[in-house]
Amino acid sequence: MWDYNDKVMAHFLDPHNVGEIEDADAIGEVGNISCGDALKLFLKLDNDGRICNVKFQTYGCASAIASSSALTDLVQGMTLDEAAKVTNRDIVDLLGELPEEKMHCSVMGMEALQAAIANYRGETLEEENEGDHEGRIVCRCFGVTDAKIRRLAKENKLTEAGEITNYCKAGGACGSCLEDIQEILDGVWNTPTNDESSSGFAALPLVQKVIQVQQVIDNEIKPILERDGGSIELINIDGVKIQVKLKGRCASCPTASVTLKHVVQDKLREFVAPELTVESM
């Protein structure tokens, strides 16, 4: 039997927001009952564009139910742009923890939310997830592509094939794709950007550091923040510590710390160096 903490058990035994919203503004559906887990998420927005009601229907284990319940609590009151930044890690953090073998349940919750947001915007989930479904099928048992494996690896710092299995089930059935999954992961973490050690980035001249960081801020981070009426300014670089100032709506937003960690820091780690840390001035 899995060793669940009290918060996971509370969400499992008495899940929040179970049901269906008949006049939902957005619906996201992921998973497949034949594969063991499925989740349908319903969102209703108020006149200010914030999520005022959210419900779910799920088929799955205790972790799937608890993750879905926690997700509904997490996104209440958010705008869709704010909800789009929610990751599976946020769901796990709210629950306290999940067994590593059940992390795929938190990923299912994140993907259902992304599917609902895409549904509201008239987009496809493939567009939201940067082509997850357009890549090469690696795990035929669960229909997982190489694009999805790369995305999960980057978002959750996964380096071993077994970890990918925990997060999306790929390789967990026949196991014939595990070697292929490991090759993909080796490619992710052996790219020139991510192969640099901490000392490598720290040893760069300051002007080169500024150029690299500023390019990512301008090209990857600012466009995301500007959609919410915010912006960001690079203040200082001290070794591998990046100091920034959130501006506009981001400066006073109650979820500024989430933006700092899951947008600014994650993007800089992805495109510059994985050891970077970010703090707000």
Confidence of residue 33 (pLDDT cuts 50, 70, 90): low
Give the chain's domains with CATH numbers: 6-126 (3.90.1010.10), 130-189 (1.10.10.1100), 198-280 (3.30.300.130)
CA distance 94 to 147: 27
The pLDDT value recorded for residue 262 is: 86
The pLDDT value recorded for residue 1 is: 55
Supply angle C-alpha 276, 87, 142, rounded to 5: 115
- N-terminal to C-terminal alpha carbon distance within the chain: 46
Q: Are 272 and 193 in contact (CB under 8 A)?
A: yes
Q: Are 41 and 25 in contact (CB under 8 A)?
A: no
Q: Average of pLDDT values for 255-274?
A: 87
pLDDT at 169 over 90: no
CA distance 90 to 86: 6
Percent of the chain with pLDDT over 90: 51
Q: What is the pLDDT of residues 59-84, one digit of tens each?
A: 988 999 999 999 999 999 999 999 99
Of the residues 61, 105, 139, 177, only one is catalytic, namely 105
Q: Are 93 and 100 in contact (CB under 8 A)?
A: no
Q: Which two tokens stand for residue 249?
A: 């709506």
The pLDDT value recorded for residue 124 is: 67
Of the residues 35, 52, 61, 141, only one is catalytic, namely 35
The pLDDT value recorded for residue 198 is: 42
Q: Average of pLDDT values for 235-259?
A: 89
Percent of the chain with pLDDT over 70: 90
Q: Average of pLDDT values for 10-19?
A: 96
Q: Is residue 105 among the annotated active site residues?
A: yes
Give the chain's mean pLDDT: 87
Which of 99, 35, 43, 27 shows the shortest CA–CA distance to 67? 99
Q: Average of pLDDT values for 99-109?
A: 91
